[in-house]
Amino acid sequence: MKTVGEVGERALVAMFTTAAASVGDTDDLVIGSGDDAAVFAPTGPVVVSTDTAVAGRHFRFDWSTPRQIGARAVVQSAADIAAMGGVLTGVVVSIGCPPQTPVERVLELNAGIVDQTHRYRARVLGGDLVSSSEVVLTVTSLGVLDGTQAVALSGARGGEVLALSGPLGGPAGGLAALSAVEHGADPLLLEQFSDLVEAYRLPRPDLGQGRVAALAGARAMTDVSDGLVEEIITMAEASQVRIDIDSASVPQVRGLAELGAALGVDPARWALAGGEEHELLAAFEPSAVPAGWTVIGTVSDGEPDARIDGAAVGEIRGWQSFTET
- Residue 43 marked as a ligand binder: no
249 marked among binding-site residues: no
278 is in an annotated binding site: no
Q: What are phi and psi of 18, to 5 degrees?
A: -60, -45
Residue 127, annotated as binding a ligand: yes
Residue type, 210: G
CA 1/CA 120 separation, integer angstroms: 32
Dihedrals phi, psi of 205, to nearest 5 degrees: -70, 155
Residues with Cβ < 8 Å from 18, sequence gap 6 or more? Answer: none
Q: Tell me if 3 is assigned to a ligand binding site.
A: no
Is residue 80 part of an annotated ligand binding site? yes
Residue 273's Cα: distance from chain center in Å? 15
**186 assigned to a ligand binding site:** no
The response to whether 34 counts as a known ligand-binding position is no
Cβ atoms of 112 and 144 closer than 8 Å: no
C-alpha count within 13 angstroms, C-beta hemisphere, residue 54: 7
Task: Check whether 146 is labelled as a binding-site residue.
Answer: no
- C-alpha atoms less than 13 angstroms from C-alpha of 133 in its C-beta half-sphere: 1
- The answer on whether 133 is annotated among ligand-binding residues is no
Edge-to-edge strand list for the sheet holding 136-144: 46-54, 136-144, 87-97, 123-131
**Residue 117, helix vs strand vs coil:** helix
319 is in an annotated binding site: yes
Tell me the three state secondary structure of residue 251.
coil
CA angle 237, 242, 246 (to 5 degrees): 115
Helices (H), 59-159: 66-83, 103-119
Mark the binding-site residues for ATP, compressed into ranges: 127-128, 225
Show binding-site residues for Mg(2+). 36, 49-51, 80, 128, 223, 226
User: Annotated binding site, which residues?
Assistant: 36, 49-51, 58, 80, 127-128, 223, 225-226, 276, 319
Per the annotation, where are the binding residues for substrate? 58, 276, 319
